[in-house]
Structure 1
Amino acid sequence: MDLKQSGRDTTQGPIDVAAIRQAARNLEDGAVSSGYQGNREEIIEMLNAALATELVCAMRYKRHYYTATGLVNEPIKAEFLTHAQEEEEHAGRIAERIVQLNGEPDFNPATISQRSHAEYDECTDIKGMIRANLVAERIAIESYRQMIERIGDTDPTTKHLLIDIMAVEEEHADDMRDLLD
Structure 2
Amino acid sequence: MPNQFELDVTKIRENARRQMEDGPVTPAYGGDPNPVIGILNDVLATEIVCYLRYSQNAITAAGIDRAQVAAEFQEHAAEELKHGLSAAERINQLGGVPDFDPATLARRAHTEYSAPESTDLNAMLRENLVAERIVIASYQEIVRWIGDADPTTRRLMEHILEEEEDHADDLVDLLGI
Shift of 1:71: 4.8
CA contact (8 A) 1:38 1:151 kept: no
CA distance in 1: counterparts of 2:153 and 2:164, whole angstroms: 16
Partner of 2:143: 148
CA distance in 1: counterparts of 2:100 and 2:140, whole angstroms: 23
DSSP-derived class of the 1:99 partner: helix
Per-residue displacement from partner, 1:114-169 (whole Å, max 9, x unpaired)?
A: 00000113222111110110000001101110001111100000000000100000
CA contact (8 A) 1:121 1:132 kept: no
Shift of 1:88: 0.4
Per-residue displacement from partner, 1:74-110 (whole Å, max 9, x unpaired)?
A: 0000000000000000011110000110011100000
Partner of 1:15: 7
Match of 2:22 among 15, 29, 37: 29
Shift of 1:14: 2.6
Decide which structure has greater helix share: 2
DSSP-derived class of the 2:27 partner: coil
Which amino acid in the other structure matches residue 164 of structure 2?
E
TM-score normalised by length of structure 1: 0.92
Per-residue displacement from partner, 1:56-84 (whole Å, max 9, x unpaired)?
A: 00000000001012453100000000000
CA distance in 2: counterparts of 1:70 and 1:165, whole angstroms: 30
- 2:72 is the counterpart of 1:79: yes
Which amino acid in the other structure matches residue 175 of structure 2?
L
CA distance in 2: counterparts of 1:65 and 1:15, whole angstroms: 53
Match of 1:69 among 41, 62, 68: 62
Matches within 5 A, 1:42-61: 42-61=35-54
- Give the root-mean-square deviation of aligned CA atoms: 1.2
Match of 2:125 among 130, 137, 142: 130
Unaligned runs of 5+ in 1: none
Which amino acid in the other structure matches residue 102 of structure 2?
P
Match of 2:164 among 161, 165, 169: 169
Which amino acid in the other structure matches residue 16 of structure 1?
D
TM-score normalised by length of structure 2: 0.94
DSSP-derived class of the 2:102 partner: coil
Match of 2:106 among 100, 103, 113: 113
Q: What count of residue pairs does the alignment treat as equivalent?
A: 173
Identical aligned pairs, as a percentage? 47
DSSP-derived class of the 1:178 partner: helix
CA contact (8 A) 2:51 2:77 kept: yes
CA distance in 2: counterparts of 1:156 and 1:38, whole angstroms: 12
CA distance in 2: counterparts of 1:41 and 1:139, whole angstroms: 24
CA distance in 2: counterparts of 1:71 and 1:163, whole angstroms: 36
